[in-house]
Each structure stands twice: as structure tokens, then as C-alpha cells.
Structure 1
Amino acid sequence: VQVEHRSAVNRLAWMQNAYPLAAGDVILQKTSVSFDVSVWELFWWSLAGAALALPAPGAEKDPAELLAALDRHSVTTLHFVPSMLSMFLGHLDRFGDVTRARTVRQVFASGEALTPAQAAHFAELLPEARLINLYGPTEATVDVTHQPVTGLDRADRRARLPIGRPIDNIRMHVLDDRGHPCPVGMPGELHVAGVGLARGYLDRPELTAERFTGGAAVGEERLYRTGDRARWLPDGTLDYLGRVDL
């Protein structure tokens, strides 16, 4: 995927504006550089004079080693795929000393659907930290929507958590099969527009033409078709409903 520098800069600038780091913050860089999340892990700290901590190789797969790294480096900010977040919280609940994660103040979750149960477990164990649900494809530069998760407990029975609102300079469109905007509550395919869109796929013009389309019907020069189903909720956030082909 051919992502431009300006798209990455926009993504980093939004994150610093929405969830600012200060000089005393420490990011744990635990994502492989072959995954897009590593972009903000590797570069965000430099916008604020913060610090970057590198755990031992393999620690990202071991909850005990992760907890030790949080404690050792006084980590304040990190990312989890929700399934790994569950493993980490389970370890913290059964074997860990919660005080070893005392410096953590914000955790970002993406890569899979974050469930209400996972968010409630997080709030129970780390009540002073903030959990942020992120959504986005690599083709639109890592993340395109965000939603801080609040007010959940183990008794919450909602089926899903919203994926939230667009980040800066990104616009989201839920379109029907004819490419027309869906009204609030009606499912459709989620499309992305704005500065985050990649140029396309390297040496794959047919796939680029299929996924990156014109958007004149909604006032956009280009759209990226995510292949995901979603709907607008009455409060202006997006509800992720799964893949269109499933």
C-alpha cells in the first residue's frame, strides 16, 4: 500500500491533538514494523519530547513480560489488539500486581472488534487509565475513527461498542449499493475520504481501481471502499457491523 508522508503526518498530528503526550510520557513500542500500528508507536513520541521503550523480543506475546516492561519503563501509553488485551487483563486479574501498571494512563485498542466485556474488565482493573477504541484500514493510514470507552461494567449487555467519529481531515460515508448515503440506522458499506487515503496498491492497478473509487455522488474526489458494513447511530458515531461479504 502506497501511503504518502502527509497522510502519516496527519495521523500523528491528530493523535497528539486528541490524546496529547507530554515530556514525561513513555510509549511501549511492541508492534512489529510490518504492521501499520507501529507507525504511531515509532514516531508519535517525537512530537512531544516523550520517550519510547522497547521491550525484550517476544515480550509482546507474554502478559507477564509485558507487565514487567510497563513497570520497568514507567509506560504511560500503549496499544493492544483486543484478544491480547484480554490475555493481559486475565493475567493481571489472576497473577499480576495491578500496581505494576500504575503509570499507564491511556491504552489504544484496534485490529479487531473491541467487546463491551473487554472494556468493562479494563475499567475494573485499571480505573485510572483511559481506553480508546480505534478503527481503520492501512489503505487510509492506520486509523480513521476513534471512540473513548466509558461507563461500562460487567453487567453491560450491549452487543457492540461504537467505533466512534472520524479523526481530523477524514470523512466517513455509509453508502448503499447504488452509492447513495444511508440514513441514520440503515446499514451500508463504509467508505473513507480525506487526506489519509493511500495512492493505491503498488503495481496492482486493477485492485487500486476496484477499491479506490470516485465519490462525486457524495462530494468527494476519491473514496476508499473498506468492505465493512456499518451504520450511523443517532449520536453521530459509527456502529461497525462486520464484513459485507460475510
Structure 2
Amino acid sequence: GHALCVLNDDLLRDPSRLLPELATLKIRRICMVPSLLATWLEIYPSLSRVVPALQLWVVSGEALTVSLCERFRIAMPEAHLINQYGLTESCADITTFDTWGWTAPPDYGSHYVPVGKPFEGTSMVVVDAGQQPLPDGQAGELCIAGLSLCNGYLNRPDQEGQRFVSLNIEG
């Protein structure tokens, strides 16, 4: 087992104090939004010297840019940066992408790191306006199914009917 550290609110609201505290506690794993990671990289460009034990970083809740991923890799060359993605309707993150060893190809065409593959028990498909599946790489609406999908919105049946639909898709 691992220990769970619960920190006080004052410390959590001050990024310049929080990181040294994580180093003192020898924290090895953390989950945060990319904007907090960006703030820490601005305050501590040599992040690996400040928190050498912190080797697993998970970001979620905001899009992870390629440039932030590259800055992280320079500051923490031995650590893993995991990009996860989830929707309000999924109750949790539903995809994961380990950026270890990943470099955006010259013709990548996006400013964002991939969201990765769905977790076990989750299915995803991108559909067009007619709710037909689109080929890989095409923009459309992301539809999810599986164990992490919530049952609906509390006291919002009007919204629920628009967002929670059944699709007849083979495959």
C-alpha cells in the first residue's frame, strides 16, 4: 500500500509552497490540471531538483499542449507524464495516454497531446451530425459507452434527453 497525504487548504492554494512540501513528504505520484503544472515549471524550471521522488504525473481537466509536454520532459527527464481525459457525463477520466517517449511528428497538425485509448470497460466513437461513425482523425462528436458513463443528470430531464442517447453502431 501507499500512503495518502491530505494537505491543508492554505498550502494547496499556494503553488510556490506546495511543491517544496511535496518534496519533503517524498510524494511519488500526483494528479493535477495542466495549468498548475505550467505554473510550477515557471517557478521551478529545474523541477527534477525540487521533487526528485515525484516520478508519476497525471494531468486531466484541461487540454495538455505539446509545448507544455516538451517543457515537462526537459524539466523531469526521468518522470512519466500521463494525459487523461474525461467528461462530466463519464463521472471520471475515460482515456489515458503516457507521453513517455512520445514526440509530436513534424506533420502532427495539433497543438495538443493525444487523449489516448479508453480505459477497459469504456467504448468511444466519434460521430457526425447524423450520428454516423467517422473515420479516424476526423472531427465530430465524441460518444462514450461503458461502466464509467453516469445514469443521467440529476433533476435535468431536458438536458438528459439531448445528451444520453442510444446509437445503433456495429462493431
TM over 0.5: yes
Give deviations 1:81-109, integer Å, cap 9, x for gaps: 1111100111111xx77433011110111
* Residues 1:119 and 2:69 are matched in the alignment: yes
RMSD across aligned C-alpha pairs, in angstroms?
A: 2.3
Is the Cα contact below 8 Å between 2:47 and 2:76 reproduced in 1? no
Q: Which one of the candidate residues 152, 159, 162 is aligned to 1:207? A: 159
What is the percentage of aligned positions where both structures have the same residue?
A: 33
Number of equivalent positions: 169
Q: Counterpart amino acid of 1:167? A: F
Structure 1 residues not aligned, in runs of 5+: 1-48, 221-246
Q: Which one of the candidate residues 19, 28, 32 is aligned to 1:80? A: 32
Q: Which one of the candidate residues 55, 58, 81 is aligned to 2:10? A: 58
- Distance in 2 (CA, whole Å) between partners of 1:132 and 1:139 is 21
* Residues 1:161 and 2:122 are matched in the alignment: no
Is the Cα contact below 8 Å between 2:28 and 2:55 reproduced in 1? yes
TM-score by length of 1: 0.63
- Distance in 2 (CA, whole Å) between partners of 1:57 and 1:81 is 17
Give deviations 1:7-39, integer Å, cap 9, x for gaps: xxxxxxxxxxxxxxxxxxxxxxxxxxxxxxxxx
Q: Which one of the candidate residues 158, 167, 172 is aligned to 2:124? A: 172
Q: Which has the higher contact order (CA 8 A, sep 6+)?
A: 1
1:194-233 matched pairs, under 5 angstroms = 194-215=146-167, 217-219=168-170
Structure 2 residues not aligned, in runs of 5+: none
Map of 2:140 onto structure 1: 188
Deviation at 1:80, TM superposition (A): 1.8
Task: Point out 4+ residue stretches in structure 1 off by more than 4 angstroms.
Answer: none
- Distance in 2 (CA, whole Å) between partners of 1:185 and 1:99 is 39
* Residues 1:145 and 2:95 are matched in the alignment: yes
Map of 1:109 onto structure 2: 59
- Distance in 2 (CA, whole Å) between partners of 1:71 and 1:50 is 16
Deviation at 1:56, TM superposition (A): 2.8
Give deviations 1:180-228, integer Å, cap 9, x for gaps: 110122221101101111011111111111111112x2159xxxxxxxx
Q: Counterpart amino acid of 2:64? A: L
